[in-house]
Amino acid sequence: MWDLHPVTAADLSALLDIEAACFDRPWNRDVFLDELARRDAAGYLLRRPAPDANGAVGYICFRLLYGEMHLTKIAVAPQWRGQGLAARLLVHGMETATALGATAVLLQVRPTNRPALGLYRRFGFRQIGRRKQYFSETGEDALVLMRHLKEDS
């Protein structure tokens, strides 16, 4: 069985390894510590069901603001992609947020991030906006996506 648990300080090295493998401009330890120390933030680490060292394969981080889940990070180590693990992380995040009273999920994503866009579209996210030059390091726009968590929302 896959192990999915809240990120702790002991998990940061594993999380940072995944982050470095997945992003050209990865968050550093201090950014993650600051993010996860927020009262409105949550993070979950997914580990493979094996007795070997580390075993971390992915993570999700989000904030709960104004009754909404704001997805800040989701990543799966490159060698573990294509197995539905990002979907597992996203479902867990949305279930957790729903249990805490969130009624919608919001996120920003690069228009060129086709794998992420595919995942979000499979889960019913729709584009509600575009932020011009949102990603300062590249000047790339961000698509703003949203999905309701409850049918009556």
DSSP SS3 for 60? strand
Phi, psi of 121 (to 5 degrees): -65, -35
Q: What does the pLDDT profile of the chain (153 residues) look like in tens digits?
A: 788 999 988 899 999 999 999 998 899 999 999 999 999 999 999 998 766 556 899 999 999 999 999 999 999 999 999 999 999 999 999 999 999 999 999 999 999 999 999 999 999 999 999 999 898 888 899 999 999 997 544
What is the fold of 3-148? Answer: Aminopeptidase (3.40.630)
b/e per residue, 64-80, with b = 16+ CB within 10 A?
Answer: beeebbbbbbbbbbeee
The structural domains of the chain, with segments of one domain joined by +, span 3-148
Q: What is this structure's pTM?
A: 0.92
Amino acid letter at 13?
S
**For the chain, give me the number of helices (H) and strands (E)?**
4, 7
